[in-house]
C-alpha cells in the first residue's frame, strides 16, 4: 500500500511538468495573435512618405489567447528618422480579444535620401513565463515632395454634386444657392406640427476626383475650405457647427489610391442661412494619410446666390395685387367713375397737381441730392416731403370727399402725372402706389371713414390707419427695390425707415391734414 502511494506521488510529479509543457507548446504566436503595423497609418502594404513631414505609424496587437500575456513592442525605425516618443511599449493583455494600439509619430528629416526604407516592429510575447517573438515589417517608400505632387492630382471638382459625387445638369455648375426656408413652408410645418430636419442649414455635396499616376499606393485625406477671395480666410457660414460639432469633423474623406487609378468621392457641404451671396474660392486639399503636409491643392471659383423668400413673395403678391386692382378698375371704370361728381374729379385732379408741384417736382432733384449727401439717413429729410406733405394732402382730400375710391384716383393721377412729366413710369412706382392705395382704401372703409356715414373727426384713428398703410407700402417698396432692382438694404435701415417715415411722419401728416381738410371744407361751403 505504501509502495502504491509512493508510485502515485512519483506519477503526479512526472505528469504535472509534462502537462505544462504541452500547454506551452500549444501557444502559437501567429495563430493566437494579430500584430499589424501600418506605415503610414492606413497603408497595409508599401507606404509612401515625403521628406520633411511628420508621419504616424499605426501599431495594433490583439490576443486570441484565453489568458494573460505580457507584450513588449519595439518599433525600429530606419536611421535618421526622428521618433517623437519612446520606441518601446509594454502592455498586458488579459483576456481573449483584448487588444492594444498606438499611433506612433515620427519625423522624416528633409535631408533623408529618397528610397525604400523598412520599419520593423518586434513584439516579445510572454505567456506563462515563455517568451515568443513576432516580427512585422513595413516598406516605406520615401519620395521628394515634388515627386508626390507630380503623382497625385485633383482631376475634377464638381459643385454641386449628388451624394455619389456626380454632377447634376439640372443644377448650375460652380454655383451654390443660399436659400432660406420658405416662410410659407415654415408656417405649414408649424401648423401641421412637423419638424424640418436641419432647419437652419441647406446642404449639398462636392464631388472630387483624385488621380494617382504613380506606382505606389497612396493613402490620402481630402478636405476642403470655402474662402473669402479677398482675405483668403475660411468663411464660417459654409462650415457651420452642427449640434455643437464643427463641420471640420464631418467634412473630410479618406481613401487609398491604387497605382494608376482615379477615385471620385463626395464631401458634404453645409450652408448656414447667414451665408452671404457673392464669389468665393473653393480650396480642396489632399494630404497624405498620417502626414500634415498638403500634397495637392486645387482651387476653383464658385458663386453663391442668395435667395430671400420674404421680399420675393412680397413683390409677387404686391404685383399681383396691383395688376388685379388695375384690371378691376379698367373693367368697372364707368361704374366707379360715375360715383364721383365732376367737381370731385376736378378736385382730385387739382390735389394731384398740388402734390406733384409740392412733392414730386422738388423731390425729383431733392430725393437724389439728399441720397447723395446724407446717404442712409436721407429718409429723415425726404420723409418730410414724401410723408408729411403727402398725407396732409391725402387726409384733407378724404375730409373733403369721404368716398371709397378717392385715394385710388388721387394715386392714379399722381402716377400718370409723374409718368408724363418726369418719365417715372416704373414698376416700383406702380406697385408701391397701387398697394398703398388698396390698403388705404380698405382700411379707411373698414374704419368707417369713407363709408356711408363718414366719421372724420377721430384724428388718432385716421393717423394710425394711414401710418399702418404706409408702413406696409414702405415694406413692399423695399422688397420691390431688392427683388427687381437687386439692391441691398440692411434690416435696421428698413425698420428705421418704416417706423420713422412710414409711421411717425405719416401720423403727423395725417393729424395736420385733417385740420387742413376741415379748413378747406369751410372754403368749399
Partner 1 sequence: MIGARSIAEPTIKDTIIHRIDPRAKILILISTAFIAVTLDNPETMLLLFLTILSGFALARMPAIKLKTLALLLVLLIWGTIYSQALFYSQLPRTVIFTIISPDFPVLGWLTNGGLFVYEEGLHYGAIQGLRSASILSLGLLMCWTTDSRDMLNGLVGLRVPYSVAFMVVTAVRFLPIIITEVSTVVTVQKLRGFNPKKFGSGIVKTSLNILTPTLANCVRRTGTLAVSIQSRAFRANPDRTYLKKLKASDFDKVVVVVFVFTATSIVIIKLLYNMYTSGIYYTSGLRPVYAIAKGYL
384 binds partner 1 (CB under 8 A): yes
Residues 286-315 that bind partner 1 (CB under 8 A): 304-307
One residue of 52, 78, 234, 278 binding partner 1 per CB under 8 A: 278
E strands along 64-172, which residues? 69-76, 82-83, 88-93, 99-108, 115-127, 130-143, 152-161
One residue of 231, 245, 249, 452 binding partner 1 per CB under 8 A: 231
Q: Count of residues binding partner 1 (CB under 8 A)?
A: 94
What is the C-alpha to C-alpha distance for residues 275 and 177, in angstroms, rounded to an integer? 10
What is the C-alpha to C-alpha distance for residues 391 and 413, in angstroms, rounded to an integer? 15
Residues 153-182 that bind partner 1 (CB under 8 A): 169-172, 175, 177, 179
Binding-site string for partner 1 from residue 235 to residue 264, where x marks contact by CB under 8 A and - marks none? x-----------------------------
Asked if residues 437 and 466 have their Cβ atoms less than 8 Å apart, the reply is no
Helices 342-355 and 390-400 cross at an angle (nearest 10°) of 170
One residue of 109, 341, 455, 460 binding partner 1 per CB under 8 A: 341
User: Interface with partner 1 by CB under 8 A: which range of 17-25, 72-80, 143-151, 272-280?
Assistant: 272-280
Nearest to partner 1 of 356, 468 (CB atom) = 356
- Residue 338: CB minimum distance to partner 1, A: 8
User: Interface with partner 1 by CB under 8 A: which range of 8-16, 102-110, 217-225, 348-356?
Assistant: 348-356
Asked if residues 496 and 482 have their Cβ atoms less than 8 Å apart, the reply is no
User: Interface with partner 1 by CB under 8 A: which range of 131-139, 256-264, 326-334, 460-468?
Assistant: 326-334
Nearest to partner 1 of 244, 423 (CB atom) = 423
389 binds partner 1 (CB under 8 A): yes
DSSP strand pairing (33-38 vs 201-212): unpaired
Burial profile 258-288: b = 16 or more Cβ within 10 angstroms, e = fewer: eeeeebbbbbebbbbbebeeeebbbbbbbbb
- Residue 508: CB minimum distance to partner 1, A: 7
One residue of 320, 368, 446, 460 binding partner 1 per CB under 8 A: 368
- Residue 456: CB minimum distance to partner 1, A: 16
User: In the beta sheet, which residues pair with residue 53?
Assistant: 108
For the chain, give the number of residues.
525
C-alpha cell read off for 109: 528629416
345 binds partner 1 (CB under 8 A): yes
- Residue 104: CB minimum distance to partner 1, A: 43
Of 415, 477, 464, 465, nearest in space to 440 by CA: 465
Residues 117-156 that bind partner 1 (CB under 8 A): none
Residues 465-504 that bind partner 1 (CB under 8 A): 484-493, 496
- Residue 347: CB minimum distance to partner 1, A: 5
* Helix H or strand E encompassing 48: strand 47-50
Nearest to partner 1 of 20, 357 (CB atom) = 357
398 binds partner 1 (CB under 8 A): no
What is the C-alpha to C-alpha distance for residues 172 and 82, in angstroms, rounded to an integer? 50
For residue 58, give the 3-state DSSP assignment.
strand
516 binds partner 1 (CB under 8 A): yes
- Residue 453: CB minimum distance to partner 1, A: 23
What is the C-alpha to C-alpha distance for residues 387 and 377, in angstroms, rounded to an integer? 15
Nearest to partner 1 of 336, 447 (CB atom) = 336
The residue assigned the cell 364707368 is 334
One residue of 346, 446, 457, 460 binding partner 1 per CB under 8 A: 346
393 binds partner 1 (CB under 8 A): yes
- Residue 373: CB minimum distance to partner 1, A: 9
What is the C-alpha to C-alpha distance for residues 285 and 277, in angstroms, rounded to an integer? 24
Residues 403-432 that bind partner 1 (CB under 8 A): 409, 412-413, 416-417, 419-427
What is the C-alpha to C-alpha distance for residues 47 and 138, in angstroms, rounded to an integer? 8
What is the C-alpha to C-alpha distance for residues 104 and 123, in angstroms, rounded to an integer? 15
Amino acid at each position: 500500500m505504501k509502495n502504491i502511494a509512493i508510485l502515485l506521488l512519483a506519477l503526479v510529479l512526472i505528469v504535472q511538468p509534462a502537462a505544462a509543457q504541452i500547454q506551452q507548446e500549444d501557444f502559437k504566436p501567429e495563430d493566437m495573435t494579430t500584430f499589424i503595423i501600418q506605415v503610414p497609418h492606413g497603408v497595409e502594404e508599401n507606404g509612401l512618405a515625403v521628406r520633411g513631414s511628420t508621419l504616424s505609424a499605426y501599431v495594433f496587437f490583439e490576443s486570441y489567447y484565453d489568458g494573460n500575456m505580457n507584450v513588449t513592442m519595439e518599433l525600429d525605425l530606419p536611421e535618421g528618422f526622428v521618433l517623437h516618443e519612446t520606441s518601446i511599449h509594454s502592455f498586458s493583455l488579459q483576456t481573449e480579444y483584448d487588444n492594444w494600439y498606438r499611433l506612433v509619430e515620427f519625423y522624416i528629416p528633409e535631408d533623408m535620401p529618397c528610397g525604400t526604407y523598412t520599419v520593423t516592429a518586434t513584439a516579445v510575447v510572454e505567456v506563462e513565463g515563455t517568451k515568443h517573438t513576432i516580427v512585422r515589417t513595413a516598406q516605406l517608400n520615401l519620395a521628394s515632395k515634388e515627386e508626390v505632387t507630380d503623382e497625385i492630382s485633383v482631376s475634377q471638382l464638381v459643385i454641386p454634386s449628388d451624394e455619389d459625387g456626380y454632377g447634376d445638369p439640372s443644377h448650375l455648375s460652380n454655383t451654390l444657392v443660399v436659400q432660406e426656408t420658405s416662410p410659407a413652408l415654415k408656417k405649414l410645418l408649424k401648423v401641421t406640427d412637423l419638424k424640418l430636419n436641419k432647419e437652419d442649414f441647406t446642404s449639398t455635396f462636392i464631388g472630387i476626383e483624385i488621380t494617382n499616376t504613380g506606382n505606389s499606393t497612396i493613402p490620402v485625406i481630402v478636405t476642403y475650405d470655402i474662402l473669402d477671395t479677398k482675405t483668403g480666410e475660411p468663411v464660417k457660414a459654409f462650415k457651420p457647427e452642427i449640434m455643437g460639432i464643427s463641420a471640420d469633423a464631418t467634412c473630410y474623406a479618406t481613401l487609398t489610391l491604387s497605382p494608376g487609378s482615379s477615385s471620385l468621392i463626395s464631401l458634404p457641404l453645409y450652408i448656414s442661412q447667414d451665408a452671404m451671396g457673392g464669389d468665393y474660392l473653393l480650396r480642396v486639399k489632399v494630404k497624405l494619410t498620417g502626414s500634415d503636409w498638403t500634397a495637392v491643392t486645387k482651387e476653383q471659383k464658385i458663386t453663391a446666390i442668395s435667395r430671400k423668400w420674404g421680399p420675393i413673395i412680397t413683390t409677387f403678391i404686391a404685383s399681383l395685387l396691383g395688376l388685379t386692382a388695375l384690371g378691376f378698375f379698367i373693367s368697372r371704370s364707368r361704374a366707379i367713375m360715375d360715383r364721383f361728381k365732376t367737381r370731385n374729379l376736378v378736385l382730385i385732379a387739382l390735389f394731384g397737381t398740388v402734390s406733384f408741384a409740392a412733392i414730386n417736382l422738388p423731390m425729383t432733384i431733392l430725393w437724389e441730392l439728399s441720397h447723395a449727401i446724407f446717404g442712409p439717413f436721407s429718409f429723415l429729410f425726404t420723409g418730410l416731403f414724401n410723408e408729411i406733405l403727402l398725407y396732409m394732402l391725402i387726409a384733407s382730400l378724404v375730409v373733403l370727399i369721404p368716398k371709397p375710391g378717392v385715394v385710388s384716383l388721387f394715386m392714379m393721377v399722381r402716377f400718370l402725372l409723374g409718368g408724363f412729366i418726369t418719365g417715372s413710369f416704373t414698376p416700383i412706382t406702380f406697385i408701391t402706389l397701387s398697394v398703398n392705395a388698396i390698403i388705404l382704401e380698405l382700411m379707411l372703409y373698414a374704419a368707417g371713414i369713407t363709408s356711408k356715414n363718414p366719421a372724420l373727426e377721430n384724428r388718432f384713428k385716421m393717423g394710425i390707419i394711414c401710418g399702418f398703410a404706409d408702413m406696409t407700402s414702405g415694406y413692399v417698396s423695399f422688397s420691390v427695390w431688392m427683388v427687381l432692382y437687386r439692391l441691398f438694404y440692411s434690416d435696421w435701415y428698413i425698420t428705421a425707415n418704416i417706423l420713422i417715415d412710414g409711421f411717425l411722419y405719416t401720423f403727423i401728416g395725417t393729424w395736420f391734414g385733417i385740420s387742413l381738410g376741415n379748413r378747406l371744407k369751410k372754403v368749399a361751403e
